[in-house]
Structure 1
């Protein structure tokens, strides 16, 4: 892959925007069609699984399909010594694009359902067990992405990452945001998928801590490099992750 940085940054922004639009839009649609919270979450999670899988397949070959500052930072940290991770310049370019895309995706979803374009969420998510859920969700996501790459199985990333996110919607107390950019974007919508601004910083802190734990588990379980003779392709030049998609 040799896509120019500008194109990769655009892919990260557009991909994150569409991901958040899927998460928020399907949440609004679910609440309009059913009053059962379980059915609402089921509809929301299924839509996210399909949307995320499609985005990874489509944009992975362009930018690596991070859509997630935690994944971008983890890729930089893991590859900083060997020179096989994103450069600081790429990190600085990716993360603002991901955040801007997340905000744009939330506003777009609100517009499609005739909601106020920007209305701060009142959905408080401030509790220790939710922060633990975010740490677990993000650790698992990072472990999955980098573990697939270390074992030469990056071609399964679209299905594996989307499946993991679908499962994490249900097995984590926080419904698995696992993504700082998406967390910020979801403050802009006072709908089913929203999160109150006051809940954001602890969520992001838990996500970053989870990413660090995930990287530690990768080293413990798979070692520090791709085994000799494996066929782990690289989607982004100088980026260790192949298809490193985010969680919503």
Structure 2
């Protein structure tokens, strides 16, 4: 009972530090309280008290990350710890809460935010897609602000992963619904900017592919053109086909020298023409 009082007391102290925005001290208290709880109740990983302590510690890590200098390594380590704790909480709550519970929707959204900050776009996309599927089917519906905001964010993550065409389709549909339902202009403009970004990226990607596939007209104009380059597969086939063997090369090189007069006479009477270059 005394040990239980310890973790409860530490949790209250942590809340007091939190209220004073002393996140380091609050984090220390939440951490010690969690360790005390696990020592007392090792078989209760889904206990609401433990999940509350983990959530408190995660929010401390999150605030410490936000307050850190962008170049400070601790900024990212704090965010990673935050994500780890939030994921543990989500995993446990998904076992006893309905997947459509608003608490889970918010937690997935928070996890997506922080994964995006770390550049973990695949994880963020997975979380947001789960939420979008739920929001579209629940009482919120396709025209609800939360649904459209999530749809916009899914589009942005798709674009970040190079899936620009999918992003464009989703973002354009999102903008259409916003425009039809007279959403605030600033929200519509945010989606438009994402659309322009996806369009620009698509154009660049198409241009890059075209450059890779194209064979320059002057590629064989001189030997310098064939110096170190990395040809695409079909270019490699062409180069291999044009590359003579050493025996054939010697024979071809000698032929015009030994039979120049014969070739000239053949050309005059319409005989076979052997190109030499």
Scaled by the length of structure 1, the TM-score of the pair is: 0.23
Please tell me whether Structure 1 or Structure 2 has the larger radius of gyration of its CA atoms. Answer: 2
Scaled by the length of structure 2, the TM-score of the pair is: 0.22
Name which structure has the greater RCO, CA cutoff 8 Å, separation 6+: 1
